[in-house]
Amino acid sequence: MEPRSYTQFSADLHQRVASHRIPMSATIEVTRRCPMKCVHCYNDLPMDDGETRQRELSYEEHCRILDQITDAGCLWLLYTGGEILARTDFLDIYRYAKRKGLLITLFTNGTLITPQIAGHLAQWPPFSIEITIYGRTAQTHDQITRVPGSFDRCMQAVRLLMERHLPLTLKTIAITVNKHELWEMKHFVENDLGLTFRFDAMINCRIDCSKAPLAVRLSPQEVVELDLLDSRRLAEWKRFSGQFTGPVHPPGKSDEMFHCGGGVHSFAIDPYGQMSLCGFSQTDTYNLRTGTFAEGWTGSVARVRAKKATRQTKCVTCEIKATCGMCPVMAELENGDAETPVDFLCQVAHLRAYAFGLDIPPHGECEYCKQGAGYEDLVRNLAVPICA
């Protein structure tokens, strides 16, 4: 690896700052293979899927991509899967990324972490490690993963990493199967283990657009009730939504389809070398096996990011998108169309706005605004009082 001079790096960085598009944050999905079969997962493939393994980027291809993204100014890197350790050469890839100076976060289910792997990570510590737990009990956890013994292996990994003082966060996805153990998980992680814990309840379709994961998704009312029952979470949501409520685009850009950081300061690469705005996006990708990162970032990704809305929907002028999560990629996964509003997300956003006491400016025909046909049904079954 031939290092760039500081002067060259600084000049490159300032040039990109001037253009307001700097690829500072990457998500690299190293594999979609996983030893677990979680009921809600959007991209799990069998561990022994030989055809998939053959299609995955090689170690040498990963190194070449890492060279290119760091040359472009990338600082932050998330490695995710599938299960990252399903690749037997993952630690080699990871070590190369560390040598490039990247600040690396690892997403893992922990079940493949051994004392040897934990020791290696202690020698080459990441910025952060995040392990997902699915229940406070083995019964609930293993019911979700559909792999007996996965809870015990996950807990063993937590102990191995904690013993080596690695930066560890535990998290969960709140679904119908584990909702009853959510607060027990939180107490266990924060009080017994002394670690940071967080949860999310926003389940989406599989990346092949299968709606199977939605069978365990909580209702919009249940999602918002969880927000309201955790005082710290509620305070954070109020702060966040209060800060970001309003038009998502500055004047002159209100017709742009995307409003996230994808293609502006972040990007994603799938296990087969396809680059896109984010890890959920399966269309408009750029093949890094046949082209360079710089070509993809300034060409294909830039064109996707600049896409314009083709029709007026209630989402275009909605000012509570900060409480929603609606984006063209989510719409494409759930509706097969990037501009059709996702009804579930719309319900959650409006319930949060009512619960947090936020104003909802008119944004077209919306059934969940106070004069809309769906308002009464939306708020009727919310168990926790709202600021109506």
Domain end marker among 251, 276, 305: 305
Is residue 126 domain-shared with residue 26, that is, in the same domain? Answer: yes
Domain of 369, in residue numbers? 321-380
Q: Where are the alpha helices (DSSP H) in 72-166?
A: 90-99, 115-123, 138-145, 150-163
Q: Which of 187-191, 274-278, 363-367, 381-385 has the lowest mean pLDDT?
A: 381-385
SS3 string, 212-224, reads HHHHHCCCHHHHH
Q: What percent of the chain has pLDDT over 90?
A: 62
Is position 313 within any domain?
A: no
Q: What letter does residue 197 receive in the DSSP assignment?
A: E
Q: Residues 6 or more apart from 288 whose CB is under 8 A from it?
A: 61, 65, 68, 269, 273, 274, 275, 296
Residue 311 lies inside a defined structural domain of this protein: no
Same domain, 49 and 168: yes
Residues 216 and 280 placed together within one structural domain of the fold: yes
Domain-embedded: residue 149 = yes
CB-CB contact of 149 with 139 (8 Å): no
- How many helices (H) and strands (E) would you count in the chain? 15, 9
Domain finish residue from 271, 305, 339: 305
Q: Quick one: average pLDDT of 348-376?
A: 90
**pLDDT, tens digit (0-9, with 9 covering 90-100), for 221-251:** 999 999 999 888 888 988 888 787 787 766 6
Please indicate, yes or no, whether residues 232 and 153 belong to a single structural domain of this protein: yes
Q: Residue 312: inside a domain, yes or no?
A: no
Gyration radius of the chain over CA positions? 22
106/225 same-domain check: yes
- Backbone phi, then psi, for 103, in 5-degree steps? -90, 110
Higher-confidence residue: 305 or 162? 162
CATH number assigned to the domain comprising residue 255: 3.20.20.70
pLDDT, tens digit, for every residue of 74-108? Answer: 999 999 999 999 999 999 999 999 999 999 999 99
**β-strand partners of 274:** 287
Do 224 and 285 lie in one domain? The reply is yes
Is there a contact between 115 and 163 (Cβ–Cβ < 8 Å)? no
Number of domains in the chain: 2
Residue 387 lies in a domain: no
Instruction: Name the domain boundary from 305, 332, 347.
Output: 305
Q: Where are the alpha helices (DSSP H) in 149-296?
A: 150-163, 182-187, 220-229, 231-244, 293-296
Residue 267 above 70 pLDDT? yes
pLDDT at residue 388 tops 60 = no
In a shared domain, residues 22 and 145 = yes
